[in-house]
Structure 1
Amino acid sequence: MKLLRDIQAVFIDRDGTIGGTGHFVHPREFAPYEKSIEAIAMLKASGLKVFAFTNQHRIARGEATVEQFQAQFAEYGFDGAYVCPHAPSEGCACHKPAPGLLHQAAEEHGLELGRCVVIGDVGSTDMLAAAAVGASKVLVRTGWGQGSLGAYRHTWAQTEPEYVADDLWAAAQWITARVCNE
């Protein structure tokens, strides 16, 4: 297993990981899970940069704006946010599982993606995006996480997460224990 003490940053998916239902929820109606905001603060307190990264194709339909998501992520304490506004059919480089959002963040913040961690609930998007850039992978059981481990495991069968956490709080505890103790 990869040592985490040299980790530079953590990328966190939104829907199903921070809160919500796993489906689109407008930023003004979105509710984080218990301890999600504290988890973000814990990661930052350990000296890590923390970024949101999310697919939000409803932006392309005019149902929300990138600015609304950016404001929500700033309110939650993220150091930055990377939002794909495109429909999956558009074939862009930023719609997960494509790693474009991760590459953009790496370029803007001088990150080595192999020294980053991705936390998400969907194996076939979040975990595959992380695997594409050599980042460590933490799958949470919230949102689509339990299904990713069960009925949908075949969609990302060649990829193994470094850790499976019950929720974002447990993921943050696991990461910070390794950053501070290894």
Structure 2
Amino acid sequence: MNDGLQAVFLDRDGTIGGSDIVEYPGEFKLFPYTAEVIERFNGKGIKVFSFTNQPGISRSEAAEDDFVRELKAFGFDEIYLCPHHHKEGCHCRKPSTGMLEKAAKEHSLNLLKCAVFGDRWTDIMAAKSAGCIAILVLTGSGAAAYEQNHLTSDVQPDHVAENLKAGADWVLKPSVERSR
């Protein structure tokens, strides 16, 4: 395992595939490199978890089971999904850390040895609040999120990557080669 990295949390929409809008199961397509990235982490003994807000479930626009089935088929070890609308005030919806904390408890993880990949600032905020390595990808909403927040936010990613594959390349380098 690389520098003790225990797990990675991958956001869905805009990070592993799709675009800057939610595409429901059946319409959603992975980026061409995503399956390879998931296999690469698994091959190094690193757990790969889904980490996604899906408020369409609470609005009855989609079924949670469909998301779980789709994400499991992509090769995720576990699915952490918040089905709540942002006005519901739950503890799991990003930027809250509920999904990360639940995964840590269920899999005996040290979140300081985990990385979060996402295309929205809420992904970065959740990661940093939980002590994870935070990687902003510029796919999906990532470029717009970076432009909107990198000069003004107190919370900053540890790394900004062109896409999930480039972010994986960075996080899998020995820590002496990456500057955190």
Counterparts of 1:154 and 1:162, CA distance in 2? 14
Deviations 1:5-34 (A, max 9, x none): 121100000001011112111111001112
- The match for 2:132 is 135
Aligned partner letter, 2:164: L
Between 1 and 2, higher relative CO (CA 8 Å, sep ≥ 6) is seen in 1
5+ residue gaps, structure 2, are: none
Deviations 1:118-167 (A, max 9, x none): 000111x1000001111000110001110111024467x11221211111
- The match for 2:22 is 24
Question: 3-state DSSP class of the match of 1:118?
Answer: strand
5+ residue gaps, structure 1, are: none
Aligned residues: 176
Q: TM-score, normalised by structure 2?
A: 0.92
- Runs of 4+ that moved beyond 6 A: none
Higher helix share: 1
Aligned partner letter, 1:177: K
Counterparts of 1:17 and 1:33, CA distance in 2? 8
Question: 3-state DSSP class of the match of 2:173?
Answer: helix
- The match for 1:96 is 94
Tell me whether 1:144 sits opposite 2:149 in the alignment. no
**Contact 1:40–1:172 (Cα < 8 Å) also in 2:** no
Q: TM-score, normalised by structure 1?
A: 0.91
Q: Percent identity?
A: 41
Tell me whether 1:170 sits opposite 2:166 in the alignment. yes
What is the root-mean-square deviation of aligned Cα atoms in Å? 1.7
Give the 5 Å matches for 1:102-113: 102-113=100-111
